[in-house]
Amino acid sequence: MHLYLVLTATSSLLSKTIKLYTRASYNHASIALMPSLNDLASFGRKDLNNPFIGGFVREDISHDFFLSARCSIYSCEITLDEYKHIQEQINYFHQHKEDLRYNLLGLITLAVNIDYQRNRAFFCSEFIATILEDSGLYEFSKKPHMVTPQDLQELAIFTHIYTGTISNYLRQLQKQALILEYA
């Protein structure tokens, strides 16, 4: 069993603005428990056309917005107990998504290195850092609300498995499935 970390860079105005400031290759992070990424979870846009309406989201990678996105995908081997715990955490976030907010203020304070934590509000890398710590997979040397997508990219628990567009990643998975089916 594996946990998948997906770092993306889309062509949206917000994404380009963040990249201009951070100079980082990727500015959004999501996690999934399946290699197909059908269960991709994060904190981000609830409405793809409005970057200011955000919260907990199950991201639909079949949408054009994501298909053309550049990404790097990492995997981490996990036990059945860790898998179940992470799945329970994600389900909790999903069940309480109306009570949770996107932490835009936290994103701004992180950018200027101010330690400010909001209750029941997360941005993408803060959400993933919280999941990793609560599941016991990784203990950060800083608070989850100070963790960036670049910090996640550098974690030794993850192995890099792919870089390219999400659409090409999905094509690779389909080819692998066909090969296994006819082998």
Express each pLDDT in 62-82 by its tens digit: 888 788 889 999 999 999 999
Q: Could you tell me the pLDDT band of residue 130, with boundaries at 50, 70 and 90?
A: very high
Rounded CA-CA distance 17/15 in Å is 5
pLDDT tens-place string over residues 5-61: 999 987 776 677 777 777 888 999 999 999 999 999 999 888 877 767 899 999 988
CB 37 within 8 A of CB 61: yes
Residue 181 pLDDT exceeds 70:
no
What is the rounded average pLDDT for all residues in the chain?
91
Rounded CA-CA distance 3/158 in Å is 9
**Per 3-state DSSP, what percentage of the chain is helix, strand, and coil (rounded to 5)?**
40, 25, 30
pLDDT tens-place string over residues 135-171: 999 999 999 999 999 999 999 999 999 999 999 999 9
Residue 183 pLDDT exceeds 60:
no
CB 57 within 8 A of CB 42: yes
| Residue 152: predicted pLDDT | 98
Rounded CA-CA distance 169/182 in Å is 20
DSSP-based three-state secondary structure for 43: strand
Domains, the chain, ordered by start: 2-182 (3.90.1720.10)
